[in-house]
Amino acid sequence: MTGKGIRVALLLAMAGLLTQCDQPATNRLQGYVEGEFVYVAAPAGGKLERLPVQRGGQVKAGDSLFTLESVSERATRDEAERRVVQAHSTLEDAKKGKRPSEIASLEAQLLQARSALALAGETLVRQEKLASTGANSVDDLDRARSTYDQSKQHVTQLEEDLKTAALGLRTDQVAAAEADVKAREATLAKAEWDLSQKTQKAAQDALVFDTLYREGEWVAAGKPVVVLLPPANIKVRAFVPEPRIGSIHQGDRISVKIDGTAESFAGKVSYIFPQAEYTPPVIYSKESRDKLVFTIEIVFAPEVALKLHPGQPVDVQPGS
């Protein structure tokens, strides 16, 4: 082959390589790992007493994350407990009658009144007999009748007092005591909740992504102390060109690869964003539509998600 022929052959080979480079070798998409973090805070402030977790560690659901000092909340809870006991005692006392000694005193007074009534009755009978013979005056008879009537009324009064003493307080007073018990119990429940919130626990299995305070530091109310990353919150976001978005559906299987390993991670499409990104202005010509991309989210099983790291770039292979 002449030198001219060799040059032609080389040019043809280079053109073939350039043509292959211009054509995409695969249908892979670009994406990155994203983590939706859980920021754990307490509703009330306080000094950080305990921080049993460390950044990078794993926690199980129910594990303690941190504890703030709780002297004030504990004192409030104890006071609320004592007030509940007091309210229950007041209610039980309201339902009872008077004390046995008070009832015994009323019964003794009633016996005395009945004895006085019997004596007044006998006196009245004698005065009536004497009045029939004119042996006494009208005033003596009137006084005897008056004494008898007063004694009779006194007996009636003591009998009613004794009945009332056995009944306890009135219905509306008992209802008021019951309402006070419920109010005190609600206050106790609130105090117990406030105390419990000084210790925060993990709601689910998660990675301790970060800790934002050290033991002994003051934590303001509502300020996160621990940042968690549950496996279910680790996702991949990939960008699909507009011409290919119609071939991808929610639930489709997706293969994800990361740098540094030949291993593929299986996931599935959980969400397709309804709006395009990088939208060109006004007119969607054929050329401008090629610039549109749609974001999709891909989720993984927990054991797979833990192998991915937020911010990590990935290659996404649909339909595999």
Taking the C-alpha atoms of residue 179 and residue 308, their distance in angstroms, rounded to an integer, is 56
* Nearest to 298, CA basis, from 263, 255, 259: 255
Number of domains in the chain: 3
Residue-level pLDDT at 99:
67
Specify whether 48 is located in the same domain as 88. Answer: no
pLDDT (mean) for 12-27: 44
Whether residue 205 contacts residue 230, with contact meaning beta carbons closer than 8 Å, is answered with yes
CATH number at residue 46: 2.40.50.100
Specify whether 244 is located in the same domain as 313. Answer: yes
Specify whether 85 is located in the same domain as 59. Answer: no
Specify whether 236 is located in the same domain as 292. Answer: yes
- Residue 45's domain comprises 39-70+197-229
> Per-residue confidence at 105, pLDDT binned at 50, 70, 90?
confident
Specify whether 171 is located in the same domain as 83. Answer: yes
Residue 12 lies in a domain: no
Specify whether 83 is located in the same domain as 188. Answer: yes
Residue 213 lies in a domain: yes
Residues contacting residue 232 through CB under 8 Å, at least 6 positions apart: 204, 299, 302, 305
> Per-residue confidence at 168, pLDDT binned at 50, 70, 90?
low
> Per-residue confidence at 207, pLDDT binned at 50, 70, 90?
very high
SS3 category, 224: strand
Specify whether 185 is located in the same domain as 86. Answer: yes
pTM, whole model, 2 decimals? 0.65
pLDDT at 16 over 70: no
